[in-house]
C-alpha cells in the first residue's frame, strides 16, 4: 500500500516535471495546469482509460480530450510515458519548428492527440460530438450479446472552458440528449490569466450543470487519488446523465508561484524550478528525468491496451460471424469509405424542364437521395430544419430516448453544432452535416476554422445565402460571409447556381475527405438550367467552367457569376451577344476547387489575354481582383441589405442583369 502510494507519487511528479522542464527549456508555455492536474489525469489514465498506445486508432478506445489545450505538455507527457510514438526528443523540442509537440495539441502531428485544442471551450463541445457518434454507432450496430461499440469520452476542462458560451450550449444539449458516456474532469484551480476567477466567475458551476441534467460529483480534492478514483467509478456507473467531476486543485502545485496567475503561462524560471523540485522531493538533475519505476509502471498501458484491444477483436470476430453485413458496414464507415455507387441516384435528379426550385430545396432532395446509400450521414440544423431542408426522411430523430436516428436537433446553438460536428467527424463512423442561415455562419466560425485546420469532412449547409432573403432584412442577409469564408484555408466554399449544380455540390462535399465543405444555397427559387443548352453541371467539380459562350474561340468579354447571380450573368451575356459582342459566361461555384486545377485548364476558362471581365455576386466586392485583375468590374455590394422583397432589394442595391450589361459595355468602351 505504502509502496503503491510512493509509486503513484513518483509517477505524478514525473509528469509534473517533464512538463515544467519542457516549458523551461522552450522558455515558453504553461506549466501551471499540468502541475495541478497531473494527479487526476494520472488516475484516469492509470486506472480507467481504455486505449492501446501501440494502436492509437483502435476504434473502440476511450477518447481523451484535453480541452484546456494550453496544458499541452500534460498530454505529450502522458503519451510519452504510456508508450505512444512520442519520443523524449519531441518533449525536449516542445514548441519548436518541425516538432510534433506544438504549443497546443494538433491532431495531425501526434497519434494519441484526438483533437486540436487551444481555443477554450472547443474541446468541451468536441467531446459531446464524440459521444453522439459513439452512441449513434452503438444504437445502430450493437446487437444483443454483441456490445462492439462501447466506450467513454473523457474530457479535462478548465475554468476558461466553462466560461466560454460554447461549453454551455454543448452541456445543455448533452444533458438533454442523455449522453451518459461523457465524463468530464473539471480542473477547478480558481486561477486564470488575469488572476483569481473570483473577479469574473462566481457562479455555482455545479448547480448550473445539475440544471443541465448532468450528474455533478464533488467538489473533491483533485490531489486525493482515492477520491478521484471513486468519482470516476461513480461517473461510469451513471449511464443516463453525463458527469462533471469538480476537482479542486492548485495551479503550479509545488512551485513557489503556486496558486497565482504567474504560473499559468510562464516558465517557472531556474530558481522556481529548483525550488519546486526541492519542495516535491525531486532530483534537480537531470532535467526530463524519468525514474525507471515510473516508466515501467506507466508503460503497462501497452500490455493493458493490447489485452483490451484483443478482447474487443474477439468480440468483433464473433460479431462478424453472427452479423457479417453489419460488421462489414461498420468497418467501411470507420474507414470513411463511401459505398459502391453512392452517387448514382443523383444523376438525372433534376432533368431539363424541371420547375424552378430554390437550391436549398434541391439540396434537401440531394441529401435525401444520398442518405439512402450513405446511411451514416448524421446531422441537422440549429432549429431551422424546415428552412434549410435538412431532414432525412424516414431516418428518425437522434433524441434522449433514441440514439439511433440520423436527424439531430441542435437547438439554437450554432457554435456547439459546429464543434460537435468536429467531434463526430473525429470520432469516425459518421459523416456529420450541419445547417443554418448563411448569415449565422458567424456564430460557428471557430469550429469551422478548426475543422479546416484538422482536415475533417464536415458538410455545412448554409441557406438564405444573399440579400435575396428579402423581407427578413439586413440582420438576415449575408453580405460579407461568402467572401470571408473563402478566406479560411482548406475550407471549400461551393455556391451552386441551380438544382443540377447543387446535386454536384453535395457529391463534391462527400468526396472531399480532406476538409470541410460549405454549401451556400438560396432561399428563392431559381430556374433549372437546361443542360442541353449550357454546359453540364459536372463542371462544378473543377470549381469553375465555361457555362455558355456566344461563339468558340477567344471571347471579347468574360462574365463570371456564382450561385443565383449566374442567371444574371447568363441573361446579360445573351443580351450582349445579341448586340454582336463575343461573350463567354463562366459559372464559378467554388474558388478553392478552381484554383486547384492545372494552370492550362484555368487558362482555358479564363484566358489571360481577355482583360474585359465582369464578376457578379450578391456579396462584398473585395477579393474579386483575384480573377478580374486591375481592369475588371464587379457587380456586387457595398453596404448591408434592407428589408423588402428580395428582387426589390437586389434592384435597389444594383445586383441586376442591367448593371452587368452596363459594366460590360463600360469595360468595352461602349457605354
Ligand X SMILES: Cc1ncc(C[n+]2csc(CCOP(=O)(O)OP(=O)(O)O)c2C)c(N)n1
Q: Return the active site residues.
A: 414
Distance CA 278, CA 394 (A): 65
Which range of residues in 127-135, 160-168, 450-458, 624-632 is near ligand X by CB under 6 A? 160-168
Question: Closer to ligand X at the Cβ: 53 or 252?
Answer: 252
Closer CB to ligand X, residue 119 or residue 418? Answer: 119
Annotate 604-663 with three-state secondary structure. HHCCCCCCCEEEEEEEECCCCHHHHCCCCEEEEECCCCCCCCHHHHHHHHCCCHHHHHHH
- Residue 342 has what DSSP assignment? T
| Residue 418 binds to ligand X (criterion: CB under 6 A) | no
Comparison of 221 and 383: residue with beta carbon closer to ligand X:
221
- Which residue number, 67 or 477, has a Cβ lying nearer to ligand X? 67
Closest CB 9 distance from ligand X, rounded Å: 22
Which residues neighbour 46 within 8 Å (Cβ) at sequence distance 6 or greater? 8, 11, 297, 298, 301
Q: Cell triple for residue 666?
A: 463600360
State CA 301 to chain mean position distance: 30
Query: Smallest distance, Å, CB 77 to ligand X?
Result: 16
Place of cell 451518459: 180
Binding segment for ligand X (CB under 6 A), chosen from 41-49, 158-166, 334-342, 611-619, is: 158-166
Residues 258-277 within binding reach of ligand X (CB under 6 A): 264
- Residue number of the CB closest to ligand X reads 160
Helix (H) or strand (E) segment spanning residue 520:
strand 517-520
> Which residues, numbered 107-126, are part of the site for ligand X (CB under 6 A)?
118-120
Count the site residues for ligand X by CB under 6 A.
20
Q: Which is nearer to ligand X, 160 or 544 (CB)?
A: 160
Pick from 72, 101, 189, 659 the residue near ligand X by CB under 6 A.
189
Smallest distance from ligand X to CB 319, Å: 41
Q: How far is the CB of 65 from ligand X (least distance, A)?
A: 14
Do you know the residue count of the chain? 671
Alpha-carbon distances of 56 from 64, 305, 455, 619, rounded to whole Å = 11, 10, 18, 45
Neighbours of 300 (CB within 10 A): 12
CA–CA distances in Å: residue 305 to residues 47, 152, 319: 12, 15, 21
Residue at grid coordinates 468595352:
668
Joined grid coordinates for residue 313: 477483436
Which is nearest to 186 in space by CA: 254, 238, 242, 131? Answer: 242
68/149 with CB nearer ligand X: 68
Q: Find the binding residues for ligand X in span 333-362 (CB under 6 A).
A: none
Identified binder of ligand X from the candidate list 1, 2, 144, 193, rule CB under 6 A: 193
Tell me which of 31, 112, 127, 160 binds ligand X, using CB under 6 A. 160
Closest distance of CB 165 from ligand X, Å: 10
523 lines the binding site for ligand X (CB under 6 A) = no
Which position among 170, 251, 371, 664 is part of the footprint of ligand X (CB under 6 A)? 251
**What x/- string results for residues 478 through 517 when contact with ligand X is judged by CB under 6 A?**
----------------------------------------
Q: How far is the CB of 210 from ligand X (least distance, A)?
A: 21
Nearer to ligand X, 52 or 117 (CB): 117
> End-to-end alpha-carbon separation of the chain, Å?
92
CB of 436 to ligand X, least distance (A): 21
HSE-up of 24 (CA within 13 Å, CB side)? 17
For ligand X, the closer CB: 186 or 398: 186
- Residue closer to ligand X, measured from CB, 70 or 178: 70
Residue 571 burial (CB count, 10 A): 17
14-33 positions binding ligand X, by CB under 6 A: 30, 32-33
Question: What residues have CB less than 8 Å from 580, skipping those under 6 apart?
Answer: none
* Rg from Cα positions in the chain: 28
Dihedral in degrees, nearest 10, Cα atoms 254, 256, 259, 260: -150
**Phi-psi region at 353: left, alpha or beta (left = phi > 0; alpha = psi -120 to 50):** left
Residue 126 C-beta: closest distance to ligand X, Å: 13
Least gap, CB of 246 to ligand X (angstroms): 13
Site for ligand X in 57-86 (CB under 6 A): 68, 70
Q: Residues interacting with ligand X, by CB under 6 A? A: 30, 32-33, 68, 70, 118-120, 158-161, 164, 187, 189, 191-193, 251, 264
Amino acid at each position: 500500500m505504502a509502496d503503491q502510494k510512493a509509486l503513484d507519487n513518483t509517477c505524478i511528479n514525473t509528469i509534473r516535471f517533464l512538463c515544467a522542464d519542457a516549458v523551461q527549456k522552450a522558455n515558453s508555455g504553461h506549466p501551471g495546469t499540468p502541475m495541478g492536474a497531473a494527479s487526476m489525469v494520472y488516475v484516469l489514465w492509470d486506472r480507467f482509460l481504455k486505449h492501446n498506445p501501440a494502436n492509437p486508432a483502435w476504434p473502440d478506445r476511450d477518447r481523451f480530450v484535453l480541452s484546456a489545450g494550453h496544458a499541452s505538455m500534460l498530454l505529450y507527457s502522458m503519451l510519452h510515458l504510456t508508450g505512444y510514438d512520442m519520443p523524449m526528443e519531441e518533449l525536449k523540442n516542445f514548441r519548436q519548428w518541425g516538432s510534433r509537440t506544438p504549443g497546443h495539441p494538433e491532431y495531425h502531428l501526434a497519434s494519441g492527440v484526438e483533437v486540436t485544442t487551444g481555443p477554450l471551450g472547443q474541446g468541451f463541445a468536441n467531446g459531446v460530438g464524440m459521444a453522439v457518434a459513439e452512441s449513434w454507432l452503438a444504437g445502430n450496430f450493437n446487437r444483443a450479446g454483441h456490445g462492439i461499440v462501447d466506450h467513454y469520452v473523457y474530457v479535462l476542462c478548465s475554468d476558461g472552458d466553462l466560461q466560454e458560451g460554447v461549453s454551455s450550449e454543448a452541456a445543455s444539449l448533452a444533458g438533454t440528449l442523455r449522453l451518459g458516456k461523457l465524463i468530464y474532469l473539471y480542473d477547478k484551480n480558481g486561477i486564470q490569466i488575469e488572476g483569481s476567477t473570483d473577479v469574473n466567475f462566481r457562479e455555482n458551476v455545479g448547480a448550473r450543470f445539475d440544471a443541465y441534467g448532468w450528474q455533478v460529483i464533488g467538489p473533491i480534492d483533485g490531489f486525493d487519488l482515492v477520491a478521484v478514483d471513486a468519482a470516476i467509478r461513480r461517473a461510469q456507473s451513471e449511464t443516463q446523465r453525463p458527469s462533471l467531476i469538480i476537482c479542486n486543485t492548485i495551479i503550479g502545485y509545488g512551485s513557489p508561484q503556486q496558486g497565482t496567475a504567474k504560473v499559468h503561462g510562464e516558465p517557472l524560471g531556474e530558481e522556481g524550478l529548483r525550488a519546486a523540485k526541492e519542495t516535491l522531493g525531486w532530483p534537480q538533475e537531470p532535467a526530463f528525468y524519468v525514474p525507471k519505476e515510473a516508466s515501467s509502471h506507466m508503460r503497462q498501458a501497452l500490455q493493458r491496451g493490447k489485452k483490451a484491444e484483443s478482447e474487443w477483436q474477439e468480440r468483433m470476430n464473433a460479431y462478424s460471424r453472427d452479423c457479417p453485413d453489419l460488421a462489414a458496414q461498420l468497418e467501411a464507415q470507420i474507414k470513411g469509405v463511401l459505398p459502391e455507387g453512392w452517387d448514382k441516384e443523383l444523376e438525372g435528379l433534376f432533368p431539363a424542364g424541371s420547375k424552378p426550385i430554390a437550391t436549398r430545396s434541391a439540396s434537401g432532395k440531394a441529401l435525401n437521395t444520398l442518405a439512402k446509400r450513405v446511411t451514416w450521414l448524421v446531422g441537422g440544423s440549429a432549429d431551422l430544419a424546415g428552412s434549410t431542408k435538412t431532414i432525412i426522411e424516414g431516418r428518425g430523430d437522434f433524441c434522449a430516448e433514441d440514439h439511433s436516428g440520423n436527424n439531430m436537433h441542435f437547438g439554437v446553438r450554432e457554435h456547439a453544432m459546429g464543434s460537435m460536428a468536429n467531434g463526430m467527424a473525429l470520432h469516425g463512423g459518421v459523416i456529420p452535416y450541419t445547417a443554418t442561415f448563411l448569415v449565422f455562419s458567424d456564430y460557428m466560425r471557430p469550429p469551422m476554422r478548426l475543422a479546416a485546420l484538422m482536415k475533417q469532412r464536415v458538410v455545412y449547409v448554409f441557406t438564405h445565402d444573399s440579400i435575396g432573403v428579402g423581407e427578413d432584412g439586413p440582420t438576415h442577409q449575408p453580405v460579407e460571409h461568402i467572401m470571408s469564408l473563402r478566406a479560411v484555408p482548406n475550407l471549400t466554399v461551393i455556391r451552386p447556381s441551380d438544382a443540377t449544380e447543387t446535386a454536384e455540390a453535395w457529391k463534391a462535399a462527400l468526396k472531399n475527405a480532406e476538409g470541410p465543405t460549405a454549401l451556400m444555397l438560396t432561399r428563392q427559387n431559381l430556374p433549372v438550367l437546361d443542360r442541353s443548352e449550357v454546359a453540364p453541371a459536372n463542371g462544378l467539380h473543377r470549381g469553375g467552367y465555361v457555362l455558355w459562350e456566344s461563339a468558340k474561340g477567344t471571347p471579347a468579354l468574360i462574365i463570371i457569376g456564382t450561385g443565383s447571380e449566374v442567371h444574371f450573368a447568363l441573361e446579360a451575356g445573351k443580351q450582349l451577344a445579341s448586340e454582336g459582342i463575343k461573350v463567354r459566361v463562366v459559372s464559378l461555384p467554388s474558388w478553392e476547387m478552381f484554383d486547384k486545377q492545372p494552370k492550362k485548364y484555368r487558362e482555358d476558362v479564363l484566358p489571360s489575354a481577355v482583360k474585359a471581365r465582369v464578376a457578379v455576386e450578391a456579396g462584398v466586392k473585395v477579393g474579386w481582383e483575384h480573377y478580374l485583375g486591375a481592369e475588371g468590374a464587379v457587380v456586387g455590394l457595398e453596404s448591408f441589405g434592407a428589408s423588402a422583397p428580395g428582387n426589390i432589394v437586389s434592384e435597389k442595391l444594383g445586383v441586376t442583369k442591367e448593371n452587368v450589361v452596363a459594366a460590360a459595355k463600360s469595360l468595352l468602351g461602349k457605354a
